[in-house]
Amino acid sequence: MDEGSSPRPEPDGLLSRQGEARRVNATILSLVRNSEIDGMVQSMRDLERTWNRKFNYPWTFFNDEPFTEEFKKRTQAETRAECRYEQIPKEHWDTPSWINKDLFDESAKMLDEKKVQYAQLESYHKMCRWNSGMFYKHPALKDMRYYWRVEPKVHFFCDVDYDVFRYMADNNKTYGFVINIFDSPDTIPSLWPETMKFIAAHQEYIHENNALAWLTDADLRPDHNRNAKGYSTCHFWSNFEIADLDFWRSPAYEDYFNHLDRAGGFFYERWGDAPVHSIAVGLFEDASKVHWYAFSAPRLLYLSFHFAKPPNRFRDIGYQHIPYFNCPTSPKCRGCQPGLFTDGDEFLFKEDCRKNWFKFVGMD
């Protein structure tokens, strides 16, 4: 906005500059390679159009290699906000010294025979580990409280006229999500048993208002619960998450991640950050601090593990990461089919774990 021009009122009644003045310490966060520039620009364009042009939160890009000048130039051109380009420290990205390379290779071969995707890509295992327990340790985030994770090639469909970070702060929320799906038990056969070992030694970390019932539900996919040794495999799909960094910095999560890290499942199996984050939030956090962004006609479904009356300006976030959607019924959403879960093959519909979620929060 030019100096001296009249500020344009935003739909929620806040002026642009007032919105920026009330910003919390937060950033949009992306782990991305230089080769993914086209997909990153597309994601930025969508989120800037639907939300960030109103609030100008900084973008923080992470890469295990230096960013190219082309990457910097093209991404900065998509936003008026500050863009920060950070390289991941070698000690945060490299395979830990206690991982046996021969065992990793043999395990990867066995996973590959079971058709586990990316099993033999060591870089994928490193990424899952970094997203689980290393990203929040980067010096670039030391003064940040909240982040919105955005990946390349995602779409945002709905105009959002409120500051989602301010909403999280004002309403004491820890974790926000839009999509809830099942994981493949073949990728995490020992994750729940290792979690049970940790819980046995650290009962003090379990929150009295936890989501254990959601994590252990066996009704919808009993085969998943059985093959994952008692875990439903339901998880928040973490390619979209809006979260409080202080939760990951807490003693409970740090101790839990360190336990899992030493167990080796990020490499000997294919533990993803989505089930790791979901289990931790479900066990160690007050369930009322978990927020599902949802607006559905004819009534507003505001689920934070309990029902509450939302602010008038609350609207949800339409989102797609192939092959799944969160597409609400709202006049503020364009370009997606309301209620659509996936546009992929029919078998993908059974991966929807929302029924478990709705049962847990007491909604038919």
Residues with catalytic annotation? 241
Identify the CA nearest to 16 among candidates 167, 163, 171, 164.
Answer: 163
Cα dihedral 167, 297, 321, 193 sign:
positive
Asked if 54 and 19 touch (Cβ cutoff 8 Å), the reply is yes
∠ at Cα 335 (149, 72), nearest 5°?
40
Identify the CA nearest to 295 among candidates 268, 275, 318, 262.
Answer: 318
Could you tell me how far CA 229 lies from the centroid of its own chain? 24
Helix extents (H) in the chain: 16-21, 37-50, 69-76, 90-93, 101-113, 122-133, 164-170, 191-201, 212-215, 222-227, 245-248, 251-263, 265-268, 273-284, 354-361
Distance from C-alpha of 153 to C-alpha of 348, rounded to nearest angstrom = 19
Pairing type for strands 146-149 and 26-31 reads parallel
341 residue type, one letter: F
Distance from C-alpha of 298 to C-alpha of 261, rounded to nearest angstrom = 45
- 136 burial type by CB count under 10 A (0-12 exposed, 13-18 middle, 19+ buried): buried
First to last CA, the chain: 47
Identify the CA nearest to 214 among candidates 267, 289, 278.
Answer: 278
